[in-house]
Structure 1
Amino acid sequence: MRIVSLLPSTTEILFAIGAGDDVVGVTFECDHPAEARERRIVSTSAMPEGLTPPEIDAYVVEAMHRGDDLYHLDAGALSGLDADLVVTQDLCAVCAVDVSVVDDALAHLGCSAEVLTCDPHTLDEVLESIEVLGRATGREAEAVALVGDQRERLAAVVARVADRPRPRVVLLEWTDPPFAPGHWIPEMIELAGGECVLGTAGEKSVRVTWDDVTAARPDLVVVAPCGYDRAASQGLADELVGRGLLPAGVRVHAVDANASWARPGTRLIDGIEELAAVLHP
């Protein structure tokens, strides 16, 4: 089987279940595991490099208003890879190539590859997507085993934080303007033994104000901007503190959003375990 993965999360899942050798095409964001970088890149960003968070937000808002794509799909590269399976999403036009773009490109090329969309909104759906990919690639046993291991680790965290006080947590999915999280992230906070006081599980992330953040009375602010690693998140966290935008004296923790929060892949459990250790040392 020849697989093109247009999502960093599905790329890491495919490698984790033993289908990495079948992956022939990826996106420019597929950086885990490192071996994924050796595959042909078929999707790149339309956004200029070097933009600040407010500039990125403005670019995205304007592009969405115009109906422009935020990603470029290299149809020639896609055609040359002769894929049997293309994995994409229909969840977020800001996150990756939309399934409609993939369908149009394959139809134009006369390619008969199967298109599989992975659109998890909750943590359970993330785990289900691992099994879906396992069935689609003939690695069902490996996928079931991986999900079992993930659920065991989740259960261990839940048991460790049970009956402990639940600190109030605000997680910032973006910092300028501030966004409260949705989808699986509020669940992650709750499983780690915190109380998510901004954002709704299973829903989209929402724009909030700094007054909203203050009114939420957080004990901890987690800085987890989508697309940023830990070092870049720490830089933004330091900036927020320096500008006095966060409640006075609140604890601030920067995370690797790419690895363990924003991407619905195998490493969300790492984020839950890390946050549990911060909340309940």
Structure 2
Amino acid sequence: MRIASLLPAATEIAAAVGLVDDLVAVTFECDHPAGIRDRVPVVVDTPLPAGLTPGEIDAAVRDRMARGLPMYEVDAPALGRLAPDLILTQDLCRVCALPAGSVADALALLGSDAEVLSIDPHSVDDVLAAITEVGHRGGAAARADALVGELRERLAAVASAVAGRPRPRVLVLEWTDPPFLAGHWVPELVRRAGGEPVGGADAGRSTTATWDSLAAHAPDLVVVAPCGYGLGDAVAQARAVRDLLPAVPVVAIDSAAYVVRAGPRLVDGIEALAWALHPDAVVEPPMGRVVRVRG
């Protein structure tokens, strides 16, 4: 099967279930497994210039959305030439990835009959179900089922480790300029890690806030998990948060890999958060996942 992944999480899922060699197209954001963009044609890009600050990105996104301009550009002719049988995309967030409606329009223009699978999870169980569906649709059912079984075992191990322990109040910031409270599956990640999420909406969209309102939530810990950013950038933004919320411990996490991307590594993210909340009960994760900016 020829698979076009127009969503970084879908690319990660395809690779995890053994379908990486079936990928014929990816996006500019697909970075896992490493080197995938060097091996597979990129058919989705962004009009936003590189090097913008978080505040500048927010302003640019708001401007484009207000003018009805797309956040992503698909190279429809290239996608047509690659002739995928299955296209993996999403409708969860117009800012995060190319929407399924844009893909359908491109396919109609090309006269393509490729199957489109939209991956739109709102919970960890939804993510596991998406892994199963991608594997089954792509002809890797056994591998997908085995992977989901392993991930469920790891989730159960975390649950056992944090059971009965005090649950710190945790505020997760998905953006810092302006501050955004994380929604969708992120509050669930906190609960599974042994914390009590404050501010964010389960299965809902991320929402803007003010620094005064964030302090009013009285969190025991702030997790800085800027959408699409790795650990280095998260640490840099966490230092600013540390100054704005001076009385609260602050942790930075590689959000792009372990928090906002709805793939198998969400379980790694839960394990990392569990260690940040309960370091005496959970094994410290490998370097490069989470850092205490102020303990």
Partner of 1:27: 27
Q: Provide, for residues 180-200 of structure 1, a one-character-per-residue CA deviation record: whole Å limited to 9, x for no partner.
A: 111110000011001101101
Q: Provide, for residues 157-208 of structure 1, a one-character-per-residue CA deviation record: whole Å limited to 9, x for no partner.
A: 0100001011111110000110111111000001100110110111111111
1:132-171 alignment, distance < 5 Å: 132-171=133-172
Mapped partners of 1:238, 1:146: distance in 2: 36
Q: Provide, for residues 96-115 of structure 1, a one-character-per-residue CA deviation record: whole Å limited to 9, x for no partner.
A: 11111111111111111111
Mapped partners of 1:23, 1:82: distance in 2: 11
Partner of 2:192: 191
Q: Provide, for residues 238-264 of structure 1, a one-character-per-residue CA deviation record: whole Å limited to 9, x for no partner.
A: 1222xx311x33111111000000100
> Is 1:220 the equivalent of 2:221?
yes
Deviation, structure 1 residue 50: 1.2
Letter of the aligned partner of 1:27 in structure 2?
Answer: T
Q: Among residues 238, 248, 264, which one is paired with 1:250 in the alignment?
A: 248
Partner of 1:270: 268
Calculate the TM-score normalised by the size of structure 2: 0.93
Q: Provide, for residues 75-98 of structure 1, a one-character-per-residue CA deviation record: whole Å limited to 9, x for no partner.
A: 121011111111111110001111
Partner of 2:102: 101
Runs of 4+ displaced beyond 4 Å: none
Calculate the TM-score normalised by the size of structure 1: 0.97
Partner of 1:8: 8
Mapped partners of 1:77, 1:230: distance in 2: 33
CA RMSD of superposed structures (Å): 0.9
Mapped partners of 2:59, 2:72: distance in 1: 16
> Is 1:210 the equivalent of 2:221?
no
Mapped partners of 2:119, 2:178: distance in 1: 28
Mapped partners of 2:51, 2:36: distance in 1: 24
Deviates more, 1:60-69 or 1:170-179: 60-69
Mapped partners of 1:36, 1:131: distance in 2: 22
Secondary structure at 2:26's aligned position in 1?
A: strand
Mapped partners of 1:97, 1:188: distance in 2: 25
Letter of the aligned partner of 2:145 in structure 1?
Answer: V
Deviation, structure 1 residue 210: 0.7
Mapped partners of 2:73, 2:85: distance in 1: 21
Letter of the aligned partner of 1:6 in structure 2?
Answer: L
Q: Provide, for residues 26-79 of structure 1, a one-character-per-residue CA deviation record: whole Å limited to 9, x for no partner.
A: 000100011422210000011121111111111111111111100010112101
Letter of the aligned partner of 1:67 in structure 2?
Answer: G
Q: Provide, for residues 204-227 of structure 1, a one-character-per-residue CA deviation record: whole Å limited to 9, x for no partner.
A: 111111112101111111000001
Mapped partners of 2:81, 2:170: distance in 1: 47
Secondary structure at 1:69's aligned position in 2?
A: coil
Tell me the percent identity: 55
> Is 1:55 the equivalent of 2:53?
no
Partner of 1:91: 92
Secondary structure at 1:131's aligned position in 2?
A: helix
Mapped partners of 2:40, 2:239: distance in 1: 36
Mapped partners of 1:227, 1:18: distance in 2: 24
Letter of the aligned partner of 1:262 in structure 2?
Answer: V
Mapped partners of 1:233, 1:72: distance in 2: 27
Letter of the aligned partner of 2:11 in structure 1?
Answer: T
Partner of 1:120: 121
Please, which runs of 5 or more residues in structure 1 have no aligned partner? none
Letter of the aligned partner of 1:18 in structure 2?
Answer: G
Secondary structure at 1:26's aligned position in 2?
A: strand
Letter of the aligned partner of 1:44 in structure 2?
Answer: D
Letter of the aligned partner of 1:130 in structure 2?
Answer: I
Please, which runs of 5 or more residues in structure 2 have no aligned partner? 280-295
Letter of the aligned partner of 2:267 in structure 1?
Answer: I
Secondary structure at 2:117's aligned position in 1?
A: strand
Letter of the aligned partner of 1:267 in structure 2?
Answer: R
